[in-house]
Structure 1
Amino acid sequence: MTAGRARALLCSLWACALVLALGGAAAAASGRVPPKPITRISAGSGSATALAGYRIQSSAKVSDSGAAISTPGYAGASGWYAAGPRSTVLAALLANGKYGDPFYSTALKSIPASDFTVPWWYRADFTLGSEADLHTFLDFSGVISSADVWVNGTRVATAAQTAGAYPRYQPDITALVHPGTNSVAFSVNPNDPDKNLTTGWIDWVQSPPDHNMGLFRDVFVRRSGSVALRNAHVTTKLAVPALDKADLTVKVDARNDSSATVKATVAGTAGPASFSQDVSLAAHETKTLTFTASIANPKVWWPYGMGGQPLYDLDLTATVEGTATDTAHERFGVRDVRSALNSDGARTYTINGRPLLIRGGGWSPDLFLRPDRTYLEDRIRYTRDLGLNTIRLEGHLEPDDFFDLADEYGILALPGWECCDKWQSLSGWSSADHTVAKASMAAEAARLRDHPSVISFLIGSDEAPTKQVEQEYVDALKAADWPNPIVPAASDASAPITGSSGMKMTGPYDWVPPNYWYTKKEGGAYGFNSETSAGPDVPTLDTLRRMMSSSELATLWQDPSAKQYHRSPSSTFGTLKIFDNALIGRYGKPTSLEDYVRKAQLAQYEAVRAQFEAYGRNFTDSSKPSTGVVYWMLNSGWTSLHWQLFDYYLDQGGSYYGAKEANRPLHAQYSYDDRSVAVVNSDHGAASDLTVKADVYNLDGTSKYTKTATVSVPGDGGRTTALTLPSSISGLSTTYLVRLTVAGKDGREIDRNVYWLSTKKDVIDWSKNDWYYVPTSSYADLSGLSGMTAAPVSATVSSTAAGDGTTTTTVTLKNTGTGKIPAFYVDAHVVDASGDPVLPVRWSDNAVSLWPGESTTLTATYRTSDLHGSTAGVRVSGWNVATRTTMTTGP
């Protein structure tokens, strides 16, 4: 429920106005656009409003007490920094312009960490109406790392009571508040993820100097009459495989906050079902009410690509003597998720009775946890565009906006606790740590259980929890009516209660050749790999120039052994040496920054494509099938040189387009292990009478081999081997191209997939395998690509603005050559009048190859406002195609 709807609801119930406002203008802490209103108040009442923002200041500069700071009319905060409603300390300081761009070069180093070794004050005013007999609670989670909390001069919670990023706290402040202006103050303590059950960054990025101390979730003031409704939720049982009936169980806690016995009626609806129940509650008594109902022919929720994403509403109202005292609202979806271990011990998932190959990516929030719903939605849209169906969250359990959007867009979520800090240092836990962990699990279970996108919780990451901690987690999940599988770890681990994880965490995390993924050992395509990739993902030249100085860029392409600040603080992942050595060994030594970047895009495209294609091909294998793969990572929280399918600014390069190609619903792919050409069908229905064609070319465009086959392919991840390329083709150049196409009955091309291969193979030295990669003792020879003859490509561009605030730019590319030379790896970027890329953008296709006489039409959709009033253009470049920008006469 939005904050606005909650206010309107209370006004209708009690003819009152509940308005909460920050004393003074509060800047949004994102530095982008203000966050949109909250769309859900989880596990609670509709009669709540979030604080609009804060004034913050270091305790080193404030001598006043919490009692004074939380007193209405406190004048000492006039010079404090404005902070948004969900803001870490450093996020607020950045929004106030205290520091420059922390993502450029090594600027993050210049922010003094010593500023964040003392508590920081967060202060806000809120206004209450004059209505009588209302009970008022402060309702919050998301404190990093803990805080003493004060309301109107009285401390209502101590740091010991509010420890941890995830537990939910609801102190009763009824006796402290009054009509008019009220004040709240948080004294937020510094964070150390090795000592606190909060959040950390492990080896992903350079950690922020404040370690994300602050309030990264909304703080609500929640009001209700004598009977309050809390903890409302729905569990669903869908008839599978018929999908023709859903049984609902609705539960809600009815709490009497008054000092007298009351009789209340709790009534509501869950989708089309309605129900009502009378309840007698003694003074301060809480009872859990249960309602059951059924829906015939329910609207079933599916992951994107498998069906629609319909959602139902649960709405409840408590009334006493005909007067409404509280409401509760939740959204839920009807779907059936099941998980089991196959005969190989690998974890499998089905949804609504259909088999599901998990194709996912590892999630990273913004480095400073800045809320920006638009930016969040952009990244989830990119996830769909990539053909992925799942996001794994290792810790960093995002606020409700993330899961709301995942529900709406059909992206599955695998949340869980993180590794390598306090969460996994179980032997050193105190009794207080156990309390925080249990409270964290209980709060997250209640918050996430109604989201149809959430299909498991991983109670461990690199290790399973101890027996005691596992029991505490499982008890908390069961108490919350957790409806989904509980997985003990993201690694190959077992636990007494939850059993075997069925997952592997074998790496790699650094560069390996494409043929690696086709071996059924280590990280190869079998079982469920919870985090894996070929490591480095060098962004586009546009992004590199935004994030690195000229001297850093020179070092980037000239010195493989150089420490790269934008890679990782880890000594294991501090350089690009493994990647760069392979780039030089396979493509030839870069001759410039531009040459380095274009070779990197090719290397990343082929590596990412091979990873997803191998797992897609092996999904239906009879021996050691693949069941899931999570690319490490989907995105980065800052300007990074590794572990991302798209960069922080949402630009797209080889990694993005390699994944997008591999995950097309109906797709022809080359197998690096046996040279077969398989067609994989991720759609539900079978595909018949497909024409599959394989063409092999020398780099001068000479055709060396052609073969065509007609095939049918079963659905739900089925595959058919269409043909196999010969092991030897006469006259083949050392580096050569393979073009695969799939056409339907009408001859229309459905899929095109172009490979660059070598008669000299990558040789993996398995005897030296390490946890993060395996060495390559001999590289494939792709250096011939550098000598390809230039190909002429024309571009025709037009743009059309839509009424929804978006513009679609259409570009028709044609290889106008009269010979045989293909235009290889042609990339298009929408740019504004200054030549800067327009981002985010969703292309129908990109990074295409065209043979002489061939043409293709690509479309790009983006927000019109991102043109900043200028004319759109398309910058076209290619491996052997000169760069040229064509402007349009559109908006």
Structure 2
Amino acid sequence: MLKVAVKIFIVLALASLSLCAAARTPIAVHAPSVAPERLELASNWTLSSADELTVSGDALSSDYDAAGWYKVSRMPATVLEILRENGVFPDPYVGKNLRDRVPQQLYEKDWWYRDEFTAPPGRTTYLLEFPGINYRAEIWLNGRLVAGAERVVGMYVAHEFDVTPLVRPGERNFLAVKVTPERALQDVDGVELADSWNDWINWNYLGFPPADGDPDRRGTSFVPDRNAGIWKPVYLTAVGSVGIGAAVVNSELPLPRTDSARLTIRTDLRNYSEQRTRGVLRATITRPDKSEVSVDQVVTLKPGEHREITFTPDEFTQLTFQHPDLWWPYTMGQPTLHDLRLEFRIENRLSDDKELRFGIRTVTQHRDDSFSADGGDFYLTVNGKNFPVRGAAYTPDLLYRNDPDREDAILRYAKDLGLNMLRFEGKLASEQLVEKADELGIPIMAGWMCCNQWEKWEQWDTEDYGVAMASLRTQIQLFRTHASAFVWANGSDGLPPPHIRARYRAIIDEMHWQNATVDTVSLLTRDANGVALWDGIDMGGPYTWRPPSYWFSGRYGATWGASAEQGSNEQIPPYASLKRFIPPDELWPINDTWYFHAGSQPKNAALINAQRTIGLRYGPSYSAEMFAAKAQLAQYEGARAQFEAFAAGGWGTHKMTIYWMLNSPWPSFFGQLFDYYLRPGGAYFGAKKGLRPLSVVFDSYATDNAGPARISVVNQTQVDEQDLAVRVRVYDLQGNVKADGRVNGIDVSAGDAVEAMRLPRGLANSPVFFVRCQLTRPSGEVVADNVYWQSQQPDDVGDPTNDRAFESWQASWADMTALNSMPPVPLDVTARHESINGQDTVVVRLRNYTPNIAFFERAEILSSRDGDEILPIEYDDNYVTVFPGEIVEIRGTVPREGPSANWVRLTGHNTSPIAIPVT
């Protein structure tokens, strides 16, 4: 364990994120004759284990022959990702390779990264920037030590070094970085302040289980290198004698009015010279109409001085905008961005510049009066309007693989689903992803990870405290510039102690954070005086599947309020994905290779809940393909119901739900709306139905005990709707209509839900029946078509005490097995190309000439007849039901730069697979 003796020195060192490598020699004050430049050091990197070397950093950062080292195709990259890329072991994401074929003690070694680059000539100051190294590092440049491991520490701490005396402008430079992975703490149950995967990967196989064997305690999950390495980009910035540091634009709206906005610009300036320096700082804002607003300020800096400079609307009236273009979440309006350019000039020559994009918006946190004694449920308003959160939890790749295209695809999926917030619990994402979220209008909730050293405050020593505060300062500095950054959480499952909480809050205030801040998202606790210490958010889980009636019942704590984690920890991908990571001889029956890719909690780890749920409701499975197909049915039901219940339940009691999770860090069975291969399955399309802006919802006979069901029209848009019509039909398994009702003239306000009708029980005599709800406009346009399958034997979780996290227990289970004997239906299927906004769209038409129902039909767009589905891909709908004599169309949009769409494969619950060409 690498710890230094003098802890006070570490805290002082970490408090400043800009550290000088060596004493500066006096220089004349002048600006460069060429423009500043920020160079990403992305190529020419190599990697070696320190165990295999006999030389030290001075030699490695000189003209050293590293021909035998592992090549890095592009930085950033963690150690394990580089080894994977170099084919050191078989694909770690397949089978149990990550445990059996990868050395598990990679974290016990130090690792050397090495790079060669040419520094741009003609500048006065050269800065070396490391936004993310995990966990410690020695940094060497051209044979000299820039900083040691006692100063470069913390996964989430950014570091900047003035390396002017060491750089060779216009010549080859040699950079060597010795990385020390996160290590276990001595004599305590913990590690260091990096990140872990908690129960996202199975600690029974990767990492270590609870030391005392208590199944109710959490272990700690790791990959073999503990995600060691340089995991964020490295930059060399060349500027004049004065540099521009972090900047932010804060906006103030005169709410409830939004007809003006007062902007405040703040930025840091640093004088890197040993001379008193005078110059002009100019800030230029470019509005969406391309008009510009500029403000100037003369600044004089002492030698080496670092100072924050502020432009306020009181001093500069130009910074009060009339009729501003506001940034909105995409579900509420346009996410309009403005451009800011900062320039510092000395004697009218450019010393440094910086550009960023920002949004004019105000995010405000509130508490309602639902639990007046404890402060009520948390909620947000944006620009004065209520913001019902319908989100999901994001994760990066398990090896922190740098893949901007994949990040873009994930964000497009989030928007396609209709999600309006992503939560980062630890795993703080790349800035590229956050920038894209700004552009797309997808808000973000970020904060520290639960259950590892970040919440084991009693184990913190002086170094940990310093790392924690420096990490917070770095992350707030990064997120505060982004319009999409809405919420910061200082804790997840726990509440930081008062002294840590107070320091966290002070840093957040110092950093001019103007968004929501919570100290915990999971628990209600009280201080010594009985005062509630609670931010109004809980984590209702229940971390296992629940039936639709559960979500609508209002009987269970997870079904109302504001929750940061809801959903099931066990999600089975479609069979096409299963085949990619479970070896053929391990596909069936379910075995420990499946468990290896599951979560860690005792029931989740063996997929007991998924097997129970699917088996009891849909009948036994005899193959992996059958089990995966039935899983899509259950997962569709559960995800749809969660989001529909929060929509139909109304704003008053349903402020926030965040699905656990959006995606998975590797091929797994852990909570996900789409799998690692970006294949959307049942949960995806169920959630997409539940998140429709305007829809009609059936409550599965849940909200009126033994009485009729409620059919509601939900309007999750910003526009009032009038004169809508609802039609509800009930079908038996043979496709016969057993009931048909209609209600006209329905009005529903923006963000509201109204009851349209009630549906009696006993309308169909088959053991399973279908409830079909359609919402139409007076023109006849079908706005929503929602199909539910129901059992005469209801699901009943039972008494609320039966609602236990991580376990699926019910007083009774619906019997859906009659679906397995539905009459087979041959569909007439055609597919054609259409071009929409320059993108290739395939229209799949399903026609049912028979008197029977074709149920749960899945279309897949392929490049070759027997190939895999083109991924990523977006469909307007899928897993559709085609009623007798009707036509259903599915539209799939193919990525612009992906393979061509030539075939469509159709599979269904009671139809034989068919593949047809696209014409």
TM-score by length of 2: 0.88
Match of 2:884 in 1: 852
1:165, CA displacement in angstroms? Answer: 0.9
Question: Match of 1:93?
Answer: 83
1:284 and 1:152 mapped to 2: Cα distance? 24
Task: Look up the match of 1:664.
Answer: 692
CA contact (8 A) 2:46 2:66 kept: no
- Asked if the contact 2:33–2:349 (Cα under 8 Å) also holds between the matched residues in 1, the reply is no
Q: Deviations over 1:706-733 (max 9, x none)?
A: 211124343442001000111333x521
**Which residue number corresponds to residue 753 of structure 1?**
786
Aligned to 2:215: none
Letter in 2 for 1:648: Y
Q: Is the 8 A contact 1:273 1:294 kept in 2?
A: no
3-state DSSP class of the match of 1:381? helix
Q: 1: CA distance between counterparts of 2:429 and 2:694?
A: 33
Deviations 1:557-578 (A, max 9, x none): xx7x996211124434211222
Task: Report whether the alignment pairs 1:103 with 2:93.
Answer: yes
Alignment-derived partner of residue 143 in structure 2 = 153
Q: Sort the Cα spacing of 1:295 and 1:50 in 2 relative to 1 into closer, same or farther, 3 A.
A: farther
Separation (CA, whole Å) in 2 of partners of 1:552 and 1:713: 54
Q: 1:22 maps to which residue?
A: none
Going from structure 1 to structure 2, the CA distance change for 1:523 and 1:70 (only over 3 Å counts) comes to farther
Q: Structure 1 residue 197: deviation in Å? A: 0.9
1:302 and 2:317 aligned: no
User: What residue in structure 1 maps to residue 234 of structure 2?
Assistant: 219
Name which of structure 1's ranges 413-422 and 253-262 shifts more when overlaid on structure 2: 253-262
The equivalent residue for 2:677 is 649
Shift in CA distance, 130/565, structure 1 to aligned 2, threshold 3 Å: closer
Q: Aligned equivalents of 1:885 and 1:83: distance in 2?
A: 38
**2:294 matched to 1:274?**
yes
Q: Is the 8 A contact 1:760 1:780 kept in 2?
A: yes
| Aligned ranges 1:561-600 → 2 under 5 Å | 564-600=595-631
Which position in structure 1 is the counterpart of 2:663? 635
Of 867, 873, 881, the residue aligned with 1:835 is 867
Confirm whether residue 415 of structure 1 aligns to residue 446 of structure 2. yes
Counterpart for residue 601 of structure 1 = 632
Secondary structure at the counterpart of residue 493 of structure 2 = coil
2:728 matched to 1:737? no
Are the counterparts in 1 of residues 558 and 566 from structure 2 also a CA contact under 8 Å? no
Q: How far off is 1:158 after superposition?
A: 1.6
* 1: CA distance, partners of 2:680 / 2:86: 30
Are the structure 2 counterparts of residues 386 and 411 from structure 1 closer, same or farther at C-alpha, using a change threshold of 3 Å? same
Deviations 1:541-588 (A, max 9, x none): 1111111122321113xx7x9962111244342112222122121111
Task: Say which of 303, 309, 315 aligns to 1:289.
Answer: 309
1:78 offset after TM fit, Å?
4.5
Superposed CA deviations along residues 370-394 of structure 1, whole A, max 9, x for unmatched, are: 1111110000000011111110000
| Counterpart Cα distance in 2 of 1:77 and 1:248 | 53
Distance in 2 between the 1:172 and 1:117 partners? 31
1:25-174 to structure 2, matched below 5 A, reads 47-52=38-43, 54-71=45-62, 73-82=63-72, 84-109=74-99, 110-131=101-122, 134-174=124-164
Aligned 8 A contact 1:57 1:81 in 2: no
Report how far residue 419 of structure 1 moved. Answer: 0.7
Task: Report if aligned partners of 2:119, 2:168 keep a CA contact under 8 Å in 1.
Answer: yes
What is the deviation of 1:537?
1.5
1:790 to 1:814, Cα distance in 2 relative to 1, 3 A: same
Select 1:367's aligned residue among 398, 411, 422.
Answer: 398
Give the gaps of 5 or more residues in structure 1: 1-12, 18-44
The DSSP-based 3-state class of the residue aligned with 1:620 is: coil
Alignment-mate amino acid for residue 133 of structure 2: V
User: Cα distance, 1:512 vs. partner?
Assistant: 2.1
Identity %: 32
Identify if the C-alpha distance between structure 1 residues 310 and 760 changes in structure 2 by more than 3 Å, giving closer, same or farther.
Answer: same
Deviation at 1:226, TM superposition (A): 1.7
Q: Which amino acid aligns with 1:314?
A: L
Moved more, 486-495 or 699-708: 486-495
Letter in 2 for 1:424: E
User: Is the 2:603–2:609 contact (alpha carbons within 8 Å) kept by the matching residues of 1?
Assistant: no
Alignment partners' CA distance in 1, 2:651 and 2:279: 55
Aligned-pair distance for 1:51? 4.3
- Judge conservation of contact 2:240–2:352 (CA < 8 Å) in 1: yes
Confirm whether residue 772 of structure 1 aligns to residue 814 of structure 2.
Answer: no
Q: 1:716 to 1:66 in 2, by over 3 A?
A: farther
- Which residue type is aligned with residue 511 of structure 1? W
Could you list the per-position Cα deviations for residues 362-417 of structure 1 after superposition, in whole angstroms to 9, with x for gaps in the alignment? Answer: 11110110111111000000001111111000000011011001111111100000
What RMSD, in angstroms, separates the aligned Cα atoms of the two structures? 2.0
| Rounded Cα–Cα distance in structure 1 between residues aligned with 2:912 and 2:129 | 59
Tell me, yes or no, if the aligned pair for 2:902 and 2:917 is still in contact at 8 Å: yes
**Which residue of structure 2 lines up, in the alignment, with residue 614 of structure 1?**
645
Q: Distance in 2 between matches of 1:693 and 1:184?
A: 69
Match of 1:872, as an amino acid? N
Q: 2:199 aligns with which of 194, 199, 203?
A: 203
1:286-685 alignment, distance < 5 Å: 286-292=306-312, 293-344=319-370, 345-493=376-524, 500-556=534-590, 564-621=595-652, 625-672=653-700, 673-674=702-703, 675-685=709-719
Unaligned runs of 5+ in 2: 1-30, 185-189, 203-221, 287-291, 313-318, 371-375, 704-708
C-alpha separation between the residues in 2 aligned to 1:65 and 1:664? 60
- Matched to 1:248, the amino acid is L
CA-to-aligned-CA distance 1:720-749 (integer Å, 9 cap, x gap): 1000111333x5212111000000110111
Is the 2:37–2:238 Cα contact (8 Å) retained in structure 1?
no
Kept after mapping to 1: 8 A contact 2:193/2:467: yes
Q: After the TM superposition, which residues 244-263 of structure 1 pair with which residues of structure 2 at under 5 Å, given as runs?
A: 244-263=259-278
Cα distance change on mapping 1:769 and 1:511 into 2, 3 Å: same
804, 807, 813: which one aligns with 2:846? 813
Q: 1:346/1:521 Cα in 2 relative to 1: closer, same or farther (>3 Å)?
A: farther
Deviation at 1:527, TM superposition (A): 0.6
Q: Aligned with 1:432: secondary structure?
A: helix
Contact 1:677 1:721 in 2 (8 A): yes
- Quote the Cα distance in structure 1 between the aligned partners of 2:896 and 2:346: 51
**What do residues 653-682 of structure 1 show as CA deviations (whole Å, max 9, x unaligned)?**
110110001110001011131310011001
Corresponding position of 1:693: 727
Q: How does 1:789-828 map to 2 (within 5 A)?
A: 789-800=823-834, 806-817=839-850, 819=851, 821-828=852-859
Give the equivalent residue in structure 2 for 1:877: 907
- Asked if residue 887 in structure 1 is aligned to residue 913 in structure 2, the reply is no
The Cα shift of 1:802 comes to: 7.4
8 Å contact kept, 2:447–2:488: yes
Partner in structure 2 of residue 862 of structure 1: 894
Specify the SS of the correspondent of 1:267.
Answer: strand
Shift in Å, 1:772: 2.5
Contact 2:134 2:229 (8 Å CA) reproduced: yes
8 Å Cα contact 1:53/1:86 also seen in 2: no
Instruction: Report if aligned partners of 2:415, 2:442 keep a CA contact under 8 Å in 1.
Output: yes
Deviates more, 1:532-541 or 1:387-396: 532-541
Task: Return closer, same or farther for 1:404/1:495 CA change in 2, 3 Å cut-off.
Answer: farther
Residue identity in the other structure for 2:870: V
Deviations 1:337-386 (A, max 9, x none): 11111002110111122211111111111011011111100000000111
Determine if contact 1:84/1:92 at 8 Å carries over to the other structure: no
Once the 2 structures are TM-superposed, how far is the Cα of residue 871 of structure 1 from its aligned partner? 5.5
Residue identity matched to 1:433: D
